[in-house]
Amino acid sequence: MSEVLKATAIGPSNIAFTKYWGQLDSVLVLANNDSISMTLGTCVARTTVCFSSEYGEDRVTLGFMGGEDVDVVGSKSARVVAQLDRLREMAGVDLKARVLSHTSFPEGAGIASSAAGFSALTLAASEALDLEFGRKELSIQTRLAGSGSACRSVYGGFVRWRAGETSETSCAEQIAPADHWQLRDIVAVVSKGEKKVSSLGGHRLAPTSPHYARRLELMPERNDRVQEAILTRDIEKLGVVTEEDAVDLHVMAMTSNPPVYYWNEGSVRLMREVREWRGEGVPCYFTFDAGPNAHIICEKGYEEEVVQRVKSLEVASSVLVNEPGEGSRVTLDHLF
């Protein structure tokens, strides 16, 4: 009789207010600094993992909203298979797997698809393999998949990744649940192209910036300000640090050797506009990951206003609205 172990999980993306940039250890995926994010409600991946004695090899298939399912090979599937291998070894299981993952957002939308994908993959695979990780262990195991920021997606709402110094101490924890604050992340997609330099490349280059050491000195205080702003629901306090840290990350990239420019004309336009909108009484603030697409943070009451303003600029091919969401979770709604 054939042996089948199957589970499905939903993994959310997240947007960082203070960014993970640069690694203490690239094998263990340890960050140089703490980072704080909001888990996203709309931008999620649903992933089904099935281990079966019927399969002769691992197969990984991805589907983005509006696109077809495509089998991934080479470096894209290597990270997935490496994570499956780690978990299979822990469980003492030797079965090949089929992985199908669907994301709720378009490919290359500047949303951390890897945070969504790897948090869903790790939970689905560990559930199928009966590994019974608690949340802290799940965060650690998700981090070890290689996408460090994914360890924050294990928790819902507002989350801090404690950088730690060892694998056992480097994991996320929840600062406040999703219903603590009706914040919005409005994503203005100004480029759908693939990133020219991956986040991994960016982490490696970070220490080559002459400003990087100063950034690391500033991070503890920045993280404390963000945490306090979240706990007291202070949008201005949160927004000011969020912009500061996003610009800082891009300064690191633009001054590293070789330099990396992630912003395009649309990104810069949005930065200028968001600052003007504030002058006109709309409390909204921008942030960027390692890419050109702007994430605009505001409270629920200004959502419509900000979406309208972004659309009227005609620089964004799409605008995605996210509320704070739940962390990675198991579902019985399998994709196959």
Give the DSSP letter of residue 195. Answer: P
Residue number with CB closer to ligand DP6 (9 or 111): 111
Residue number with CB closer to ligand DP6 (273 or 289): 289
Residue number with CB closer to ligand DP6 (16 or 100): 16
Which of 249, 161, 167, 255 lies closest to 208, judged by CA? 255
Least distance (Å) from ligand DP6 to the CB of residue 147?
3
Which residue in the set 10, 19, 190, 306 belongs to the binding site for ligand DP6 (CB under 6 A)? 19
248 binds ligand DP6 (CB under 6 A): no
Residue number with CB closer to ligand DP6 (139 or 149): 149
Tell me the number of residues near ligand DP6 by CB under 6 A: 14
Which residue in the set 112, 128, 183, 241 belongs to the binding site for ligand DP6 (CB under 6 A)? 112
Task: Select the span of 63-71, 141-149, 186-194, 297-305 touching ligand DP6 (CB under 6 A).
Answer: 141-149
Least distance (Å) from ligand DP6 to the CB of residue 288?
8
Residues 50, 4 contacting (CB under 8 angstroms): yes
35 binds ligand DP6 (CB under 6 A): yes
120 binds ligand DP6 (CB under 6 A): no
d(CA 61, CA 63): 7
Residue number with CB closer to ligand DP6 (5 or 153): 153
* Per-position x/- string for 290-329, each x denoting binding to ligand DP6 as judged by CB under 6 A, each - no binding: x---------------------------------------
Residues 9, 47 contacting (CB under 8 angstroms): yes
Give strand ranges (E) for 193-327: 284-287, 294-299, 318-322
Task: Select the span of 109-117, 128-136, 221-229, 298-306 touching ligand DP6 (CB under 6 A).
Answer: 109-117
Neighbours of 271 (CB within 10 A): 18
d(CA 107, CA 271): 23
230-260 CB burial, b ≥16 within 10 A, e <16 = beeeebeebbebbbbbbebbbebbeebeeeb
DSSP string, 297-323: EEEGGGHHHHHHHHHHHT--SEEEEE-
115 binds ligand DP6 (CB under 6 A): yes
d(CA 241, CA 248): 10
d(CA 248, CA 244): 6
Site of interaction with ligand DP6 (CB under 6 A): 16, 19-20, 35, 112, 114-115, 147-149, 199-200, 289-290
